[in-house]
Amino acid sequence: MLTLLNLLKDGRFHSGEALGAALGVSRSAVWKQLQHIEAELNLPIHKVRGKGYQLASPLVFLNAEAIASNAPALPWPAHISDTIDSTNAEALRLVDAGCVPPFLVLAEQQTAGRGRRGRKWVSPFAQNVYYSLVLRIEGGLRQLEGLSLVVGLAVMHALRDLGVQGAALKWPNDVLVGNKKIAGILLELVGDPADICHVVLGVGVNVNMQKAEDVDQQWTSVWLETGFAIDRNHLVAQLGVQLQDYLSRHKTGGFAALQEEWEQNHLWQGRAVSLIAGANQIDGDVLGVDHQGALRLSVDGVEKIYSGGELSLRLRDDS
């Protein structure tokens, strides 16, 4: 099936006879593979009598050499899969198998992509970026303070570099354009965070996706915001360059050195919000974040601090 996709990826028409000859199979076998591509990978194919078959949009597959050529100074190798459960899960398996960080895990498709609080992350084939960078962290908890917010800054700037000028941050782990989500971040730790541990910086970016039926929130993509498809290898390289810069600044000065910049790019700064913690709801106004990345809220005129992976922030209806 992937061999057939490689023949079709240029977005041009190919006759069934030519495809069958290239694959060494019958035209009916080609037809069955095309049906599998549409059903399993959700890639629409145009079928025109007398012309043949054409992918609705050309595809550029992820490629380690292409990523390296766009960002030759990046110090981490890329492990690229066609289809896996999730890049974060694969990253953790590679750590368990003794793979030495830093390294990057990418996939064309995830079958069990996940976001914060166990939410499903929709992961169509060869359309978006599913990205997990594994780092070894030494020096204790200070190296982890506000880390997910730092990753958000890197993602935001990578998207702006590609023309998504409206990209901005939402505490704690989302990148939005207006009220629509374009990227999400999920960090996972293994080891002792007070001593030596490994952290997986998981990033999902909606890149060339134009429609999705299973997303349970408002969303957008780079294509929808800019009007054209982009080479995901270029985005992966840009994200790596931004991450390298921001991780270096964070390691030197902690999150406190980036706190003001993060607040300046927080889409909901000063807004009336509801903070959801399990069955509890806390209403307040966003003051910003503290030097550890925790949320600062004004609740009934009193400043309060909130942090934790199971918190969810929503705009209040009256804001």
pLDDT digits over 78-111, tens only? 999 999 999 999 999 999 999 999 999 999 999 8
Consult the annotation and say whether 226 binds a ligand: no
Q: 44 is in which domain, residue-wise?
A: 2-55
Whether residue 160 lies in the annotated active site: no
Q: How far is CA 32 from CA 7, 17, 36, 38, 195, in A?
A: 15, 14, 6, 10, 54
Of 12, 27, 32, 314, which residue is the catalytic one? 314
**% residues pLDDT > 90 (the chain):** 78
Q: Has residue 210 got a pLDDT over 90?
A: no
Same domain? For 36 and 147 the reply is no
pLDDT above 90: residue 217: no
Q: Which residue has better confidence, 317 or 12?
A: 12
Determine whether the annotation assigns residue 49 to a binding site.
no
On whether both 259 and 274 belong to a single domain, the answer is no
Question: Is the same domain home to 41 and 126?
Answer: no
Domain closes at, from 248, 263, 278 = 263
What is the CATH number for 296? Answer: 2.30.30.100
Confidence tier at 214 by pLDDT (50, 70, 90): low
- Choosing from 181, 232, 249, 304, the catalytic residue is 181
Among 242, 263, 284, the domain boundary falls at 263
- Regarding whether 273 and 246 lie in a shared domain, the answer is no
285 has pLDDT over 60 = yes
- A 10 A CB-CB count for 118 gives 7
Strand 78-84 with 103-110, pairing? parallel
pLDDT band at 115 (very low <50, low <70, confident <90, very high): low
- The rounded distance, in Å, linking the Cα atoms of 193 and 203 is 21
At 25 the pLDDT is 94
- Whole-number average pLDDT of the chain: 91
- Predicted confidence (pLDDT) per residue in 46-87, tens digit: 999 999 999 988 899 999 999 999 999 999 999 999 999 999
Q: What letter would DSSP give residue 88?
A: H
Q: What is the pLDDT of residue 284?
A: 97
Residues 35 and 184 in one domain: no
List the catalytic residue out of 116, 117, 160, 304. 116
What's the pLDDT score for residue 309?
A: 67
Predicted confidence at residue 180, as pLDDT, reads 95
Q: Are residues 224 and 129 in the same domain?
A: yes
Chain centroid offset of residue 155 CA: 8
pLDDT of residue 228: 92
Say what the pLDDT of residue 185 is: 96
What is the count of structural domains for the chain? 3
Measured CA to CA, the distance from residue 178 to residue 268 in angstroms comes to 10
pLDDT of residue 319: 45
- The per-residue pLDDT for 57 is 82
**pLDDT value of residue 40:** 83
Same domain, 22 and 103: no
Distance CA 202, CA 196 (A): 19
Which CATH number goes with the domain that contains 42?
A: 1.10.10.10
Mean pLDDT of 134-154: 91
Q: Are residues 10 and 149 in the same domain?
A: no
9 labeled part of a ligand binding site: no
- 122 and 225 belong to one structural domain: yes
314 is catalytic: yes
Is 116 in the same domain as 249? yes
pLDDT digits (tens, 9 = 90+) for 235-255: 999 999 999 999 999 999 999
**Does residue 86 have a known ligand-binding role?**
yes
Q: What is the per-residue pLDDT for 196? A: 86
Query: For residue 118, what pLDDT band results from cuts at 50, 70 and 90?
Result: low
Q: What is the pLDDT of residue 123?
A: 77
Burial of 205 (0-12, 13-18, 19+ CB in 10 A): buried
87 is in an annotated binding site: yes
CATH code for the domain in which residue 225 is found: 3.30.930.10
Whole-prediction pTM value? 0.91
116 assigned to a ligand binding site: yes
| Annotated binding-site residue? 248 | no
Q: Are residues 146 and 242 in the same domain?
A: yes
Would you call 49 a catalytic residue per the annotation? no
189 shares a domain with 43: no
